[in-house]
Structure 1
Amino acid sequence: MNTLAIGIDIGATKIAAVLVTAEGQVLEARHLPTLPQRGPAAVLDDIGTEINRLSAVANAYGGNLQGVGMGSPGLVNPVEGSVRNAVNLGWEEVFLVREVQARLSTPLPVWIEKDTNAAALGEYYWGAARGCEDFVFLGIGSGLGGGIIAHGDLIRGADGNAAEVGHIALDPEHGRLCACGLRGCVETVVSGPGLVAVARRLLAAQAHPTHLSVEAVQEAHAVVQAAAAGDPLALAAIDEVAAALTTLVAFIVGLLNPARIVIGGGLGLAIFDHLRARLQRDLPRRVLPASHQNLHIVASQLQNPALGAACLVWQAARRAEKKGGGR
């Protein structure tokens, strides 16, 4: 009998759900709109309904459903099963595990992690970090998040806030104000809104020739498309993003000495070649050779964020086996 897991990724615009085998075979995948303006209860109702539906599908396959893994934005406490300050969802405090379990027709264990931790696990099990015990995942999209795997385990930190890489302030005096309240966070440059802000600043300064206008630079994809066409200003804006990322990665590499840096997220994948070229060029000037000489910078291979969430189920089983083996 196949062992199965359900994965749920909660995003600001959509919820991704999968039913998956331990080998990574997706038996069913769905997306539904989050519509967070309805309030937490309505979103939780939808999540519960989706889990119940996938549980029924698992029964139809005759599989042994092991549990549910969930990835969420915000400050996630996996121990108490809570999510706090999920700004894009409008959640101040939600006890996610308890609320979801209360909506299930059949009792199931539920595990939660912040979304980028879940993504890192997805890369470890089924993505660009298969077979790699020590790596860092960086997701670059509307924001910048990270996940750290060391010796095959997630690094959560003392309060569950490890790898909050987007909110390391590179320029706390003169940098742009971040949504978190700090100034000069890496995320204010290394993100979709960050790229737009850089491009607009370069436009205002008339620093490079360009076919872009202020009206055209509303979204990051406009800058990415212009760069692909060779636009000098767009290329300069992306290079500034890459330079800020290089500073961050130098800290990461010097501190953790990972075997791989996995770059994902919509923007991260769209400009991956630019980012990797800058990292490979500048890291040797920033960290000791022993820290980076065996480092590989690779693009994410995870096709669905809910796959990473499902991996929380397998990771919990793995931890239980390790604990049992140590007795």
Structure 2
Amino acid sequence: MTQTVLAVDLGGTKILVGEVMPAGEILASEKYPSTVVDQRSAAEKIKTAIRSYLQQHVIHGDLIGIGICVVGRVNTEQGEWLEIHPSLSDPIFLAEEITQAFQLPCWLTNDVSGAALTESILGIGQETGNFVYINIGTGIAARVVADNHVIKGGNFNAGEVGHMVVDMMSDDLCSCGRKGCVELFSSGLGMHNQTVKFASEYPDTILTIEEDRRVSFQELITAYEANDPLAKKVVDQSLRAVAALTMNLIRVSDPEAVIFGGGVMNDGWFLNHLVTFLNAKTIRFVTKGMRVTALDPNEVALKGAATLAFIMEKGVKTYA
């Protein structure tokens, strides 16, 4: 019987649970309610979701363990979920709790680390062991993979590049305490906030701006293509900021490829425009190119959780 892993992806609105094979094939999956208000509540939701899945689904393979991707800072080697957010820290040895509850070995990592690990095993890693994975969605985060290892850092916090300053003259204050961070301009939420900020300067904009409703990236693209000046300002500002971020990461880590993921990057529009803001001399060693991930964004963290479990079960320390 083929070995499989029960993989879990904790998101802000859902928990995805599925049985996954070594090559990344998802045999079956199910969505369950999620919470990220605090770690303890989220941990209990994860347990409930796993329990429900095992009750509702036939297990097809030889289940060797459970892999989990969560938001926040994680010590994978110790199985410790350190914090869900810098202001919400309640360290939990989640892997041990899951192992005790279900009598299966469990491993966990951060969701972006899981996505980078999946790229390393199932995606661009088949071409190079040195790349940068940049995720641009509601927020911005990245992981550097160097010599086939995802860099984790001394405090398991490497890759929080959304807080890299890209505008030294900006007065926009980030939640991290600094001004001019790329997340303020280029994340999905950041672009919405910038649209609201500058809306009064563009009374003839075709964008619809309403209280308690986020202006989507797709709306900004549509308006941009129609030469709406507000959309042009916000999106071009975002592109310049991500270009600075990307080139800074290239200079620091010397990757052969840069892979983009996340909702802002999904259809390739952003990357097609981003490349026009990049300096040829800076990116000359990125010989494997820049591309949007070929992995399904709805499944990448689930596959990352499974990939982690398969690797750790063999005792290989290629994780973050």
Aligned position for 1:65: 63
Q: 1:190 to 1:48 in 2, by over 3 A?
A: same
Q: In the alignment, which of 96, 99, 105 is matched to residue 97 of structure 2?
A: 99
Counterparts of 1:3-22 in structure 2, within 5 Å, are 3-22=3-22
Deviations 1:37-88 (A, max 9, x none): 5x54443233224334555788742x22222221111121223322233139
Q: Structure 2 length as normaliser, TM-score?
A: 0.85
Aligned position for 1:325: none
Matched residue of 2:91: which SS?
strand
Aligned position for 1:227: 224
Q: Is the 8 A contact 1:15 1:33 kept in 2?
A: yes
- Answer with 118-127 or 274-283: which moved more: 274-283
> Structure 2: 5+ residue runs without aligned partners?
none
Counterpart check, 1:34 vs 2:46: no
* Aligned-pair CA distance for 1:197: 2.2
CA distance in 2, matches of 1:321, 1:213: 49
* Aligned-pair CA distance for 1:296: 0.9
CA distance in 2, matches of 1:145, 1:88: 14
Amino acid at match of 2:96: R
Matched residue of 1:247: which SS?
helix
Counterpart check, 1:296 vs 2:307: no
CA distance in 1, matches of 2:257, 2:283: 16
Matched residue of 2:127: which SS?
coil
* Aligned-pair CA distance for 1:139: 0.9
Q: Is the 8 A contact 1:9 1:309 kept in 2?
A: yes
Q: CA RMSD in A?
A: 2.9
Q: Is the 8 A contact 1:78 1:111 kept in 2?
A: yes
Q: Is the 8 A contact 2:137 2:263 kept in 1?
A: yes
> Structure 1: 5+ residue runs without aligned partners?
323-327
- Answer with 26-35 or 221-230: which moved more: 221-230
Give the structure with the higher percent helix.
1
Q: 1:181 to 1:16 in 2, by over 3 A?
A: farther
Q: Structure 1 length as normaliser, TM-score?
A: 0.84
Q: Is the 8 A contact 2:271 2:291 kept in 1?
A: no
Counterpart check, 1:179 vs 2:172: no
Q: Is the 8 A contact 2:257 2:288 kept in 1?
A: yes
Q: Is the 8 A contact 2:15 2:32 kept in 1?
A: yes
Matched residue of 1:212: which SS?
coil
* Aligned-pair CA distance for 1:265: 0.8
CA distance in 2, matches of 1:45, 1:273: 39
Amino acid at match of 1:239: D
Matched residue of 1:320: which SS?
coil
Aligned position for 2:259: 262
